[in-house]
Amino acid sequence: MNLRWTILGVILLTFVGLVLILSISLQGILVPHFRDEEERSARLNVQRVLGVMENERISLTDAVRNWASRDESYDFIRTGSPEYIQRNLSDSVLIGLNIDLMAFIAPDGGIVHAHMVGGQADPETDLPAGLRERIQPGDALLRTIDEREPRSGLIATDRGPLLIVSAPLLKSSGEGPAAGTLIIGRYLDANRLNRISSVVRFPLALLPYAQSDLPPEFSEAKLAFTAEDPITAIPSSETQMAGFALLTDFYGAPAYILRLEQGRTLYRNSQLVLLYLTTAIIMGALLFSVMTFLALDRLVLARIRKLGTEVTQIGAGGDLSARVTVDRRDELTLVGNQINGMLTNLQALSHRLVAIQEAERRKIALELHDEIGQLLTGLKLQLDTNPENGAALVKARALADDLIQKVRNLSLDLRPTMLDDLGLLPALLWHFDRFTSLTGVQVNFSQNGLVDNRYAPEIETTTYRLVQEALTNVARHSGAHEASVRVGHRDGVMTIQVEDRGGGFMAETELTSSRTRGLRGMQERVALVGGSITIDSVPGWGTSILVELPATAQPVEGSGHDHSITGG
């Protein structure tokens, strides 16, 4: 796996991990928060309902205070006046006061008069079961005779929950003793719950605490109630939240369970918020991952790939004068500078090796010419001075002549001395004549700016070796009978062009082949002196080699005007 895919995998894993961590964190923080807010909202709404019911109790308490503190009522319980009943205890009066039941109770617990809206004015039938059994001496309902303060609460009856208020019957001045007890009540039936529901704007339901077949929600709420917290909230569905309150009766015992239903707006909002946040997190993390990868790819990976490509091209082309691209200022810049420094050192080392090679060739050529050549020449002189041996001497003389010529040719191939002594132009002219005589290939030579000028030794050596190698390739591979060589110097540039009309070759294929040592050697020589080389060849159409080298002319004494020379 390459570095790019490795980094992409790391970023992908980081992206997935980041999304998971943030999602889990949001679920662990926001969901409980919204759940608590939802429960708190349900509890507040239940308290609102209880507040409305408390208002009902307060209004009944005010009504019972008003009725129980009248002299007329005080006298009625003693006399049982029919006129009082007819004037004050009709259905219309009770309905106007929003009262469903009114009962006058004597101190001994006897029912003086009881009236329910729509009833028969019969205490035994008008008082609902559940209330009727409580009206007896010592019961909390009648304890107000001694306490002198109204008491209120719920009574479970056969007709449903009844909110009652019990107060002592006193004179208008508030003096006693109490003539008895006045009880008024108001049913919390379906109509009353609907009116309360319209006020709080939530559906309400009320079920007995002791009912055996309570719905599951009520049963769950019943288990959740505590003495310290008689209110609870339970989700009833994905869209509904139920708030429950435990209502105690007149005696403080659990009597009814009140249920309020509200929409789970907070829950839906929490889901939307989570969805939006999760989407935003995913998009943000994705954008961050993409931008990070693109930044790494552009700022690091692309530059590493480019650096590797340039190093590969320099290695394949052998152009040690080439340098890798250095931009920006960071660690990769340091690496690029180090590579360029290495290439500079390699170029200097190659330059030095070429110089050493040429020096060794010069030394070997001198030794062949001065020592071996002198010995062979002495041998030839001896043979010339002893002609008595006839045919053997002739043969020996011929062998010596041949050996002298071979040594001379070897010396000239290694390093022509005239290149150092006379300069580039004479050495080229000599080489063309010798090349034609050895190979039969005609050389058409033209020059410009070479007469009476000398150049740096490495430029003259490189030019000579390039021409030598190019013509050797013509003789060996092209099959051409003539070649064209043009060498010129102008504006600080030495231009060399060698052309033939031979068989040609596929330049791109041959240049990448390990067999083309000659062409690779030419490229290396040109690169060492900071020049450029272009090789064009088409099979069947010949080959053209164009080289440009940086060169400065150094005129020699007695130089004349430039002119063209054609050799071969």
Whether residue 518 sits in one domain with residue 450: yes
Phi, psi values for residue 108, rounded to 5°: -85, 5
Distance, CA of 131 to CA of 119 (rounded, Å): 15
pLDDT tens-digit map of 360-380: 677 677 666 666 666 677 667
Lowest average pLDDT, out of 194-208, 279-293, 395-409, goes to: 395-409
In a domain, residue 29? The reply is: no
Could you tell me the residue range of the domain that residue 335 belongs to? 316-352
**Parallel, antiparallel, or unpaired for β 482-490 and 442-448?**
parallel
CB-based contact 373:407 (threshold 8 Å):
yes
- Based on the domain organization, do 330 and 208 belong to the same domain? no
| 208 Cβ contact list (under 8 Å, min separation 6) | 156, 255, 256, 257
The rounded distance, in Å, linking the Cα atoms of 109 and 77 is 12
Residue 26 maps to a domain: no
Q: For residues 170 and 176, is the Cβ–Cβ distance under 8 A? A: yes
- Whole-prediction pTM: 0.52
Domain assignment present for 441: yes
> Are 322 and 449 within one domain?
no
User: How many domains does one find in the chain?
Assistant: 3
Task: Please determine, for residue 1, whether its predicted confidence score (pLDDT) is greater than 70.
Answer: no
Asked if 474 and 568 sit in the same domain, the reply is yes
Same domain, 206 and 337: no
Most confident residue range from 258-267, 311-320, 344-353, 404-413: 258-267
Cα separations (Å) of 513 from 217, 297, 504, 519? 88, 33, 15, 10
The radius of gyration computed from the CA coordinates of the chain, to the nearest angstrom, equals: 61
How far apart CA 226 and CA 218 sit, in angstroms, is 14
515 phi and psi, to 5 degrees? -85, -20
Tell me if 82 is assigned to some domain. Answer: no
8 Å CB contact between 209 and 244: no
Q: Is residue 207 part of a domain?
A: yes
Q: Is residue 173 part of a domain?
A: no
449 in the same domain as 530: yes
> Which SS3 state, helix, strand or coil, does residue 89 take?
coil
Report which secondary-structure segment, H or E, holds 548.
strand 542-550
Same domain, 465 and 346: no
In terms of DSSP bridges, do strands 101-105 and 254-263 run parallel, antiparallel, or are they unpaired? unpaired
Would you give the DSSP letter of residue 128? P
Strand bridging mode 160-168 / 240-248 = unpaired
Highest mean pLDDT among 79-93, 231-245, 288-302: 231-245
pLDDT band at 112 (very low <50, low <70, confident <90, very high): confident
The CATH number of the domain holding residue 433 is: 3.30.565.10
User: Which of 226, 242, 263 is a domain's end point?
Assistant: 263
Per the prediction, the chain carries an average pLDDT of: 82
- Whether 469 maps to a domain, the answer reads yes
Residues 338 and 216 in one domain: no
Instruction: Specify whether 252 is located in the same domain as 321.
Output: no
Establish if 390 belongs to a structural domain: no
For residue 290, the model assigns a pLDDT of 84
How many whole angstroms separate alpha carbon 121 and alpha carbon 135?
Answer: 17
